[in-house]
Amino acid sequence: YKRVWKDGPLWAPVTGYSSQAFDSSQLESLEDGILTGNDDQLFFNRTLSMFTGEKKQGGNIVTTLNGDAQRAAFKGLGDKKGSVVALDPKSGAILALASTPSYDPSVFAGNSDKDSEARQKLLKDKDKPMLNRALRETYPPGSTFKVVTAAAALENGLYDDIDAKTDSPLPWTLPQSTTELKNEGSIPCKDASLREALRWSCNTVFGKMSDDLGNRKMIEQTDKFGFNKEVFTPVRADASIYPEDNKPQNAMAGIGQASNRTTPLQMAMVASAIANDGKLMQPYMVAERQAPNLDPVYTHEPEELSRALSGENAQKVQQMMETVVKDGTGTNAQIPGVTVGGKTGTAQHGLN
C-alpha cells in the first residue's frame, strides 16, 4: 500500500510528505503516532481492539486550514515563487498556508526506483518546490515592516498623535554616513505625520524613526512580535531576525532592509497582533486529534504568545493601515463593504 494525497501540491506545505523510503516531514511526521494508531493518547482504543479482535486503526488529525482560503491562496500565487499565510487574529488559527511552486507528495510515497527518481528530480529542481517558503525561508520584509517601526515609536513615546507632524527632514542622511536615504518618487514626506508616512511609505520618516529609537528598542519591539526565535505551529518555522547592528544599518532595518529578515508567517503574526488590539496569539494548525472512532483525544486551546503593543496603540496603527488601503499605496486591497487595513512593501536584494 502506498499513501496518496488528494490535491497533493495544494496541501503539501501543510501536511508535508510520508514516504516508505524517505521517512516523513511536517504534520505527517509530527502527528505520525495518531495517524498510525500508535500514540499513547490512543491507548484505550488499542486496548479495546485487543478484546474485540478488531484491527488496529489510525486516528485522525483535524487542521485549522480553511479549504476555500487555501485554494484561493494557491490560485492567487499562480506560477509565481511565493507564499501566503492567513491567520485568525483572535485565536492564532492558521487558515491558509500556501507555498509555490509546490510538489505532489504522492510521487515518492513508495519504495521503488520510480519513487527515488521522482524525489531526486524535485530535489534538483532550481525552483525548489519542496521548500516551504511560508515557514522555512526568510526574506527582507521591505516596507511591510514599517508598521513594526510605527508600533515601536508609539510604544516608546517617540510620537503619540498619528496625525501630528513628525520631526523628519527631507532629504535625510543616514547616520555616520554621507548617503541620503531615498523615497520612491516625489511623495510628501517632509515632517509627515505617522498616518501620512505610512500612507505614502516614506523611507526617510521611518528610517529616522528607527535611528531615533535606537537598535536596542527596535529589537525589544520585534521580540514582542515574535522575532528572533523559532515558532512552532507545531511545524517549526525559522526564526525571523532583527539584528544587532550599527546605526546606519539599524536605520535601514527599520524600513525592512539591511539584515532584517522575516518569514511570511512572521509578518502575518505582526498584522494579526495589530488587528487583535495588540495581543499576539500562538499560531497553530492542529485543531483536534481524534481516535479512530472520531472521538477527540486532544482539542487545542488558543494561547496568548505576547502582548506586542497596547490596545490603544494597536488601534492607532489599525487606523494608519486602513488609510493605506482607503487612499494610499494599498488601494488594490479594497473589498466593497469591508474595512481593510494593510501595508504594501517591496525589498531590494543585494548581490554578493
- Active-site amino acid positions: 143
Model confidence at 41, in pLDDT bands (50, 70, 90)?
A: confident
Output the pLDDT for position 177: 93
Show me where the domains of the chain are located. Answer: 8-124, 142-280+307-333
Q: Which residue has the higher pLDDT, 293 or 148?
A: 148
Model confidence at 352, in pLDDT bands (50, 70, 90)?
A: very low
Q: What is the pTM (predicted TM-score) of this model?
A: 0.93
Model confidence at 112, in pLDDT bands (50, 70, 90)?
A: very high
Residue-wise pLDDT tens digits, 215-224: 999 999 999 9
| For helices 215-224 and 146-155, angle between their N-to-C axes, nearest 10 degrees | 100
Model confidence at 158, in pLDDT bands (50, 70, 90)?
A: very high
Same fold, 8-124 and 142-280+307-333: no
For range 187-213, the mean pLDDT: 97
CB 206 within 8 A of CB 149: yes
Output the pLDDT for position 252: 97
- Residue 323 has, within 13 A of its CA and on its CB side, a CA count of 18
CATH architecture observed for domain 142-280+307-333: 3-Layer(aba) Sandwich (3.40)
Output the pLDDT for position 54: 66
**Yes or no: is domain 8-124 CATH 3.90.1310?**
yes
Q: Measured between alpha carbons, how far is 228 from 310 in angstroms, rounded to an integer?
A: 21
Name the nearest CA neighbour of 162 among 339, 308, 326, 324.
Answer: 324
DSSP output for 246-291: -HHHHHHHTTT-TT-BB-HHHHHHHHHHHHTTTEEEPPB-EEEEE-
Mean pLDDT, rounded, of the chain: 93
Model confidence at 293, in pLDDT bands (50, 70, 90)?
A: confident
